[in-house]
Amino acid sequence: MAHTGNEVEVVVVGAGAAGLAVATELGDHGVSTLLLEQRLEPSTLPRATVISTRSMELLRGWGLEAEILAGGVEADVWLWECTTLARAAEGQAHAVGYPSREQAAVVSPCALGTVPQDWLEVVLRRHVDTLPAVRLEAGSRLVGLVNAAHGVQATVQDATGAVRTVRSRYLVGADGAHSQVRSLLGVEMRDRDGALGGVQVLFRAPLWELLGSLRYALYVVTTPSAPGLFLPAGPDDRWVYAPSLPSGVDPASDLEASRLADAIRGGAGVEELDPRIERIGSFYAPGQLADRFRVGRTFLAGDAAHRVTPRGGTGMNTALQGGYDLGWKLAWVLQGWARDELLDSYEAERRVVAEHNLTRSTDPDGSRRPVVDELNVDLGGRVGHAWMTSTAGRVSTLDRLGRGWTLFTGPSGAASDAVASPTRAPLSVVTLDAVTARSIGVRGDGALLARPDGAPVAVWASAIGASDLRRAMELPASAPAPEVAVA
């Protein structure tokens, strides 16, 4: 389908983390995409402040890892509990489900990012602007939708108030918690008990000089006079503060700048501290899950499909990873690399993750979790990481994943005959040395076939033939666990 003002292959509504991830994957595959965003400029609110291991791997795959990390601070994503920040040396660390930098280095080429969401979205928007197949229309919103069997007709109102109809093969609603797409589709959101609300303060103050080498993504201060939570939200001592102010007072006083500045000073343990407050706001975050993620040719992603509370720090990461998953699957179908059934795997695979993270976020103790349990959820069963040498230097096995299928083999090259015949989707072969092959589960003359997201689809214990490979690639590419085949 041509990329014109009124005809594209995919319309994406919403340029938050989910919508930008969908558009990035589509654009990388050359799929004509219209990205609609009601806001004229990206949000300047930090909102989320942690980018998970798997999310960083996706950003690395898009070539954005270094630029993303430049907008954050180097810190372990653990919770440091102390009386005040000035007495941080007397505190202790608690696991919040994310690995330390040393732990992450064992399982991934990426360190986690202590990076605010507003910087993430700025970088992704700049990247999307470089993709010829994607056009971002700021100030435009969806006002109508016809979801037909042959395609989608979207009624779009631009920044001038002009209205037009855009035709597409598919449409993605990534337009947030109050999604217009979801409303037009008549899809209900179901609430869970355990909503979280409070006050957030964005400010700047020289707190790192109090903390020294104790660099963490979350600090809980327990001083009775000013208990609360401090989160680094970017370079130059940019912070978010969430007070646990005493109950029984006028709620309006919770938003008074002087009162909050006193609370920040009390939590920091420095009476002469002069915090520069940039924004004060209240928030209310319920846990919600949509009844469906797909209706015909229209899909829901991000907060339009699942909404979690800040507990556990999974909201932005769930949205980003879900958008990536939907993006590559749409691209495969539109390029004729896979059957339409592949698109059904989007909800089948992402709902279980959303369910888990929603349940975690509505648990009062959801921010404190063992690392190994939540890391397994985050990585999602993708092929293992191992360092290998190449002409480009030291690279991870994850770096070798292509946009199509990737076949990992051992040094014997026993799969060379199998890959000679043409395939529907591109197939790249990665030959590993014996030790690296063994570390990701390839033994002897065997092989491992992986999707572009690294999910193993088939593992062979011995040499494979062309028919074995073709059968594996004719699967809808949605197997949640490896299909083991022994030749």
Instruction: Judge whether 233 lies within some domain.
Output: no
Look up residue 127 and give its two tokens.
């990247």
Residues 297 and 352 in one domain: yes
Q: Shortest CA distance to 352 belongs to which of 293, 393, 431?
A: 293
Return the pLDDT at 468.
86
Q: CB-based contacts of 88: which residues, under 8 Å, 6+ apart?
A: 80, 82, 210, 211, 212, 214, 219
Residue 112 lies in a domain: yes
pLDDT of residue 245: 56
Q: Is residue 47 part of a domain?
A: yes
Q: Which of 354, 379, 404 is the last residue of a domain?
A: 379
145 and 52 fall within a common domain: yes
- 213 domain residue, yes or no: no
Is the domain of 178 the same as that of 325?
Answer: yes
Of 379, 404, 430, the residue that ends a domain is: 379
Q: How many CA atoms lie within 13 A of 72 on its CB side?
A: 30
Which domain range does residue 374 map to? 10-192+286-379
The reply to whether 469 and 333 lie within a common domain is no
Number of domains present in the structure of the chain: 2
CATH no. for residue 142?
Answer: 3.50.50.60
Give the pLDDT of residue 420: 63
Please identify every stretch of the chain with a pLDDT value under 50, giving residue numbers as ranges: 1-4, 247-249, 251, 478-487
Q: Determine, yes or no, domain membership for 83.
A: yes
Does one domain contain both 22 and 81?
Answer: yes
Q: Are 439 and 343 members of one domain?
A: no
Please, are residues 83 and 221 in contact by the beta-carbon 8 Å criterion?
yes
Report CA 272 to chain centroid distance, whole Å: 39
Q: What is the pLDDT at residue 3?
A: 44
pTM, whole model, 2 decimals?
Answer: 0.94
Residues 319 and 397 reside in one and the same domain = no
User: Are 316 and 445 within one domain?
Assistant: no
Query: Among 328, 348, 379, which residue terminates a domain?
Result: 379
User: Is the same domain home to 326 and 456?
Assistant: no
Per the domain annotation, does 98 fall within a domain?
yes
Say if CB 3 and CB 169 are below 8 A apart.
Answer: no
- Evaluate whether residue 270 is within a structural domain: no
Token pair 């349940």 is found at: 359
1: in domain: no
Q: Are residues 353 and 438 in the same domain?
A: no
**Which of 84, 45, 48, 16 lies closest to 280 in space, CA to CA?**
45
Q: pLDDT value at position 246? A: 54
Pair (104, 188) in one structural domain: yes
Residues 425 and 452 in one domain: yes
Instruction: Give the CATH number for residue 449.
Output: 3.40.30.120
